[in-house]
Amino acid sequence: MRFGPRDLEIHRNRLPAGGLIARLIDVTDRNVAEAEKLRLENRLQQAAKMEAIGQLAGGIAHDFNNILGAITVFAGFIVQDTVMDSENREFAQRILTAANRGKDMVDQIMSFAETRAVSQGSADLRRVLENCRELLAPSMGSGAVLETGLPLTALLVCGNEVQIGQMVNNLILNARDALGDRDGEVVVEARSASQEEIEAFRKFSNTPLERLIGEPVAGRRYARLSVRDSGSGIKPDIIDRIFEPFFSTKGRQRGTGLGLAVVHGVIRSHGGFCHLRSVRREGTAFNIYLPLASETMVAAPATPDGGGLGRVLIVDDEAEMADMLSIGLERLGYATVAVQDPLTALVAIEEDPLAFDSLVTDLQMPMMSGMELIRKARHAAPHLRTILCTGNAAGATEAEILSHGADTIFYKPIEIQLVAKALCGRPNAVTRTAENAENSSHF
């Protein structure tokens, strides 16, 4: 029984000579502990489920990146080599269009799977919301209004501004679609979160209308990014599935089911958490909490610039990728040698340190990783310019990869022109050839 704020158990025992003895036991603390245990078990099960899905998706996406990279570049060669009115050129252009759609989808899977770890830096939420408003306000529809509540000054959080912008874009587009044909509003706001607000979530338990994704860290200060709509809300029976990749209620023609999966991946990779509340026929609110950054932190990954010719050693265990890079760079005037074995590449560099000007290598290869190859190659040939290409960073941050000696990182699929520019660009740069917030799909 419940007696005021306490939980009591009543035990009755019949006496041999007649009568009863009743014992009252205070079980409040036990019930609280059991409820907390159940809450943590449910959280752990959900986290393990999403991690398993992420590992599977990341592995598949990595292999698809290599396939799409070869398709894209070789189709590009056909476009370059055929006349404007050729039917084959039109077919090749269609291949490129389809491959680019696949590239965008794979990039979103990678974001969900956290295979592209975020470098330490800062992102200004005020600037993110301004960019999202400028990009999406014209596409809201006749009856939908996008309202933004901007902080008065820069609001810096730890993370990557491009990825956070993609997350906000997906949530806004999702909210717009939730309005359907009805008039309504989508409200986006950012502000600092109070410590009381954060502490309340440390004891939060899911309800039929609310979910908490992730956990706040004690003592850490957060910013709150809110996206809410006045739409139809999320059905209670699917609220636990909305962050799963490829789960969608919109049908194949309107959504890929990757939008909220990307949101989930960005939240996790930024060390944040999310409070979701949705009421049928009233609307949905996503409140995302991201760790605040120090005002002295800056995040400005440089874009490589420059050009020039040279001798390039290409290393990739996928023959199609190695050949694609070799042919593409040779067409631009570079002398190339392509091998599939990193040990063979290292022997060649050690035998003649001046034989090559640049090294372009994959990250994940048998016998030796790309980072280890770069480190050993740089020891033998300090002048060597090194470019690392990866479709799956396997949890390593960009800063960690650059610290091993790579001058530039490219995420697959790769654009040959960007690789050519990076061959003599400035060091320690990160180039994303597949990140495009404008083309993101949504739930």
Domain spans of the chain, in order of start: 2-31, 33-113, 122-299, 311-432
Q: What's the CATH number of domain 33-113, 3.10.620, 1.10.287, 1.25.10, 3.30.450?
A: 1.10.287
The answer to whether the predicted template modeling score (pTM) of the entire model surpasses 0.75 is no
Classify domain 311-432 by CATH number: 3.40.50.2300
Low-confidence ranges of the chain (pLDDT < 70): 43, 45-63, 104-120, 245-246, 250-258, 294-309, 392-398, 424-443
- Cα–Cα separations (whole angstroms), residue 443 to 98, 247, 352: 21, 8, 54
Structure tokens, 248: 């969608």
Classify domain 122-299 by CATH number: 3.30.565.10
Q: What count of Cα atoms within 13 Å lies in the side-chain half-sphere of residue 295?
A: 3
Tell me, what's the pLDDT at 436? 37
Q: What are phi and psi of 336, to 5 degrees?
A: -130, 155
Tell me, what's the pLDDT at 291? 93
Tell me, what's the pLDDT at 442? 34
